[in-house]
Amino acid sequence: SYPANVKMVEVGPRDGLQNEADIVPTEIKAELIDRLADCGLPVVEAGAFVSPRWVPQMADSAEVLAAIRPKEGVNYPVLVPNVKGLERALEMKVGEIAVFGAASESFTQKNINCSIAESLERFAPVMEQARGQGLRVRGYVSCVLGCPYEGDIAVSAVAEVAEALYKGGCYEISLGDTIGVGTAAKARAMVEAVAARIPVSDLALHFHDTYGQALANILSCLELGVATVDSSLAGLGGCPYAEGASGNVASEDVLYMLEGLGVETGVDLDRLIATAWWISERLGRKPASKVALARGAK
Ligand code: HMG
Ligand code: MG
């Protein structure tokens, strides 16, 4: 059986846009976030307080946050890699941050320039200070179903990092198939290993769709009771530190599947599709999602 309700976490404005080569204007980013909130999405990841040299597209996250029209009841988390990022987030009075680790040593080095152990040491004061200031902290684990540099990743490595972040104070752990290589049975086994240490209600699925397996993987993990799914409208995205990785699973594809299962999300499919076409037009291309293409631009 499937959960009666699923929380959809929209990561398009961050994970989706971070990989765009051309800088997207601040006003477009802010309008995208507002449009997504108007679709009924309860969480819209709004940016990243990371080094602008590492990810130039996210350099204007403070300006984006200042430009949005915050909607009651919607969370607008931002990524934070260190205390410096937390300070920037606190200045903007965000309600939620996300720290991001990985189950692979090589990916951690490429992405945040340190080892897994160092990353956890770095996140400790971030999580503690954020919580002391009343912020909620989400934790990402990347490379849960494979690494662009190391190939297969042991589920025990995923479970260890996930548990460390959870014990450090993250209220939710998002499991990232960063390069979209996973398949359904593998995804299930990985979630089962993590769920042996963390309540399944506090896990989220963050699957990229490089090999077209994301929906199948999500479906197989919903059966285990996971009820939070990250996605990106129009299938935007990739990962700057994982060459060849395509975007997140498209939000409208996930929503179409959930509606078919009778799962409640509170998200309006027609509006989401219209928003997928809107941002795609601004980026000069068609949406990467089957559902948006099937329905066409309205
Ligand atoms: P570093 O070079 O080791 O850091 O980078 P540093 O502390 O030595 O600082 C170097 C410079 O960066 C200094 O500036 C700092 O001030 C500045 P300089 O003195 O040279 O002018 N700096 C900062 N500036 C702004 N905000 C900050 C900040 N921190 C340092 N917070 C660092 C280490 C972590 C900063 C860097 O590696 C970085 O920013 N990495 C971010 C990479 C990233 O954003 N990746 C994409 C997101 S993760 C993802 O997409 C996966 C996910 O979707 C899940 C999945 O799919 O698996 C979440
Ligand atoms: Mg991602």
- CA angle 274-250-50, nearest 5°? 105
pLDDT at 246: 81
pTM, two decimal places? 0.97
- What pLDDT is recorded for position 222? 98
The finding on whether 48 has its CB within 6 A of some atom of ligand 1 is yes
Task: Kindly state if the Cβ of 147 falls inside 6 Å of ligand 1.
Answer: no
State residue 146 phi and psi, 5-degree precision: 145, 155
Given the structure tokens 């920037």, which residue do they identify? 88
Distance 194 CA to ligand 2 centre (A): 18
Which ligand minimizes its atom distance to the CA of 147? 1
Q: How far apart are CA 215 and CA 289, in angstroms?
A: 12
Per-residue confidence of the chain (298 residues) as pLDDT tens digits? 999 999 999 999 999 999 998 999 999 999 999 999 999 999 999 999 999 999 999 999 999 999 999 999 999 999 999 999 999 999 999 999 999 999 999 999 999 999 999 999 999 999 999 999 999 999 999 999 999 999 999 999 999 999 999 999 999 999 999 999 999 999 999 999 999 999 999 999 999 999 999 999 999 999 999 999 999 999 998 666 667 678 999 999 999 999 999 999 999 999 999 999 999 999 999 999 999 999 988 7
**DSSP secondary structure string, the chain?**
---SB-EEEE-IIIIIGGG-SSPPPHHHHHHHHHHHHHTT-SEE--EE-S-TTT-GGGTTHHHHHHHS---TT-B--EE--SHHHHHHHHHTT-SEEEEEEES-HHHHHHHHSS-HHHHHHHHHHHHHHHHHTT-EEEEEEE-TT-BTTTB---HHHHHHHHHHHHHTT-SEEEEEETT----HHHHHHHHHHHHTTS-GGGEEEEEB-TTS-HHHHHHHHHTTT--EEEEBGGG----TTSTT---BPBHHHHHHHHHHHT-B----HHHHHHHHHHHHHHHTS--S-HHHHHH---
Write down the pLDDT at residue 297. 85
pLDDT tens-digit profile of 6-32? 999 999 999 999 999 899 999 999 999
Active site residue 147: no
Quick one: pLDDT at residue 242? 67
Which atom of ligand 1 is nearest to 144's Cα? 57
Out of 43, 50, 79, 248, give the residue to mutate to test ligand 1, the one with the largest number of ligand atoms within 8 Å of its CB. 50
Measured in Å, residue 239 CA sits from the centre of ligand 2 at: 6
The atom of ligand 1 lying closest to the CA of 18 is 46
How far is ligand 2, taken at its centre, from the CA of residue 264, in Å? 24
Binding site membership of 138 for ligand 1 (Cβ less than 6 Å): no
- 119: Cβ below 6 Å to ligand 1? no
Residues 256-283 pLDDT 10s? 999 999 999 999 999 999 999 999 999 9
84 Cβ closer than 6 Å to some ligand 1 atom: yes
Rounded distance from Cα 58 to ligand 2 centre (Å): 14
Q: What is the pLDDT of residue 239?
A: 62
